[in-house]
Amino acid sequence: EVKLLESGGGLVQPGGSLRLSCAASGFTFADFYMSWIRQSPGKAPEWLSFIRNKANSYTTEYNPSVKGRFTISRDDTQNVLYLQMNTLRAEDTAIYYCAKHRGVPDFWGPGTMVTVSS
Amino acid sequence: DVVMTQTPVSLSVSLGGQVSISCRSSQSLVHNNGNTYLSWYLQKPGQSPQLLIYKVSNRFSGISDRFSGSGSGTDFTLKISRVEPDDLGVYYCGQGTQYPLTFGSGTKLEIK
């Protein structure tokens, strides 16, 4: 059974940083591309970033809305996906999901809440 | 960015009925490789989105044949037949053809 579990969310002040993690199990993590997606309350999901597998050199893609502030990475030895978020703003407040990616995000974790507020 | 426009914003249906949701993209979703990366998701209350349909008309693993997708180019439709109570929630279309990936604004399905 595919499982994804995000962690690392919480309350952070504007300008602060946070690193999210996503623990994966139930599938061969190293074979798959992975995404981060967020969703503000009552809004549609917003795709943030994407990392390919080793066979595709771990190359990445970013939404321009977060490029330069957010960094995606992965540890295939631990089956963990990361999202480093810097210079956080109030508008970054959202539920953050990791998702297994096969052409499109096909399985999403339950998410972790990030609140940016003073 | 590719803008995804969904209609209607909400709809109400009786149990056992049928509904259609429309999704239009601002650009063709045909990828250079010939695939069309249009997908449909259902977000049930308090849950994360779950994939229903990928590449326009392919049902994801475990998805009932009551859900069907169709369309091409820029116009796509999700049909739900024999609506059940568990179908309520917000339906989103999404495109994976062009970066950044984008989603429609959602259609809320309510059961009468």
What confidence tens digit (pLDDT) does each residue in A56-69 have? Answer: 999 999 999 999 99
Q: Cβ(A98)–Cβ(A34) under 8 Å?
A: yes
**Tens-digit pLDDT profile for residues A5-56:** 999 999 999 999 999 999 999 999 999 999 999 999 999 999 999 999 999 9
Cα angle for residues B99, B75, A104 (degrees, 5° grid)? 35
Q: Does B105 touch chain A (CB under 8 A)?
A: yes
Q: Cβ(A82)–Cβ(A21) under 8 Å?
A: yes
Q: SS3 for B41?
A: strand
Taking an 8 Å cut-off on Cβ atoms, the answer to whether A104 and B37 are in contact is: yes
Contact map slice: A 18-77 vs B, CB within 8 A: 35, 44-47, 50, 61-65
- What is the distance between the alpha carbons of residues A6 and A70, in angstroms, rounded to a whole number? 16
Q: Cβ(B8)–Cβ(B93) under 8 Å?
A: no
Mean per-residue pLDDT for B68-76?
Answer: 98
Taking an 8 Å cut-off on Cβ atoms, the answer to whether B106 and A107 are in contact is: no
Residue bearing tokens 């993209």: B25
Q: How far is CA A67 from CA A49, A84, B89, in A?
A: 9, 11, 31
* Reported confidence tier of residue B71, pLDDT bands at 50, 70, 90: very high
Contacts of A111 in chain B (CB under 8 A): 48
pLDDT at B112 over 90: no
Q: Does A111 touch chain B (CB under 8 A)?
A: yes
Nearest to A105 by CA among A22, A40, A43: A22
pLDDT at A103 over 90: no
Residues 6+ apart with CB under 8 A from A104: B37, B39, B51, B54, B94, B96, B101
Nearest to B94 among A61, A97, A104 (CB): A104
- What is the distance between the alpha carbons of residues B84 and B88, in angstroms, rounded to a whole number? 8
